[in-house]
Amino acid sequence: MRETTEKKVLIVGGFGTVGSQIAKILHGQNQELLLLLGGRNPGKPLPFASPRLHSLLVDTTAQDPLAHAPEDLALIVNAVNDPDDALLLAAVSRRIPLVDITRWTERFTRAIDRLASSELQSPVVPPLAGWGARQLCSANCIPLTCKR
């Protein structure tokens, strides 16, 4: 990965149907973003070619899913199941804003309960209504203008 002042956005599940579509939208709408596609098999071919697109090992079933992530992530978009909230807790502990588009109400309620004793220092955005990648990519979206 090249040295850059671009904002780094990690899309967990970025090789899947939803995650790769999010990557394409973000890539096309914001030239300041360096996109990291996270997955358990980062050797897969990238969904499209770009010097602003890279792969990263991320396993939401690992104790620390962000073990291989750079420290200067501006945002994490989660497009996969996070069964034990490991990604959620890792993002919160690192103060990285997280948008999770995969949690259904029951699972999000459980996650809120798990975070009740945490002092949140970064936004955690609940699932967007009906896969809201377009809303996520809006130029006025708060997470993409986060000062990190």
Specify the pLDDT at position 114: 75
Q: What is the pLDDT of residue 115?
A: 74
More confident residue, 6 or 80: 80
Which pLDDT does position 10 carry in this prediction?
98
125 vs 146: CA distance, rounded Å: 13
> 13-29: per-residue pLDDT in tens?
999 999 999 999 999 99
- Per-residue H/E/C for the chain: CCCCCCEEEEEECCCCHHHHHHHHHHHHHCCCEEEEEEECCCCCCCCCCCCCEEEEECCCCCCCCCCCCCCCEEEEEECCCCCCCHHHHHHHHHCCCEEECCCCHHHHHHHHHHHCCCCCCCCEECCCCCCCHHHHCCCCCCHHHCCC
7-143 architecture in CATH? 3-Layer(aba) Sandwich (3.40)
Residue 52 has pLDDT above 60, yes or no: yes
Return the domain boundaries, the chain.
Answer: 7-143
Segment 130-146 mean pLDDT: 42
Query: How much is the pTM?
Result: 0.76
**Mean pLDDT of all residues in 34-44:** 94
Q: How far is Cα of residue 22 from the mean position of the Cα atoms in its chain? A: 10
The answer to whether the CB of 34 falls within 8 A of the CB of 9 is yes
The CA–CA distances, whole Å, from 111 to 40, 71, 127 equal 23, 23, 12
For residues 127-147, average pLDDT: 44
Given a cut of 50, whether residue 76 has pLDDT beyond it is yes
